[in-house]
């Protein structure tokens, strides 16, 4: 005979595992610390400033 399985426990365990996988994916996708976000923002701001410095303005005549 096969092993007895409590279906409620099996369902809850499956839900926890699914939730854990989703949390891992979210940590990989969105998980940056505050300092990492600040560094990225500063870099983007510097890059935009550099591009603006090299912009060629057309004179309106």
- Give pLDDT, residue 61: 56
DSSP state of 6: -
pTM: 0.48
pLDDT in tens, 14-57: 999 999 999 999 988 888 888 988 999 999 999 999 999 988 88
- Give pLDDT, residue 60: 61
Q: In terms of C-beta density within 10 A (0-12 exposed, 13-18 middle, 19 or more buried), how is residue 55 classed? A: exposed
Cα separations in angstroms, 24 against 18, 21, 55, 58: 10, 5, 42, 50
Long-range contacts of 9-16 (CB under 8 A, 24+ apart): none
Mean per-residue pLDDT, 2-20: 93
DSSP state of 4: P
Domain definitions of the chain by residue range? 7-53
- Give pLDDT, residue 2: 77
């Amino acid at each position: 005979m096969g092993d007895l399985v409590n279906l409620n426990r099996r369902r809850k365990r499956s839900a926890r595992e699914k939730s854990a996988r989703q949390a891992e994916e979210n940590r990989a996708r969105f998980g940056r610390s505050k300092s990492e976000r600040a560094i990225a923002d500063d870099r983007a701001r510097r890059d935009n400033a550099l591009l603006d410095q090299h912009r060629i303005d057309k004179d309106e005549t």
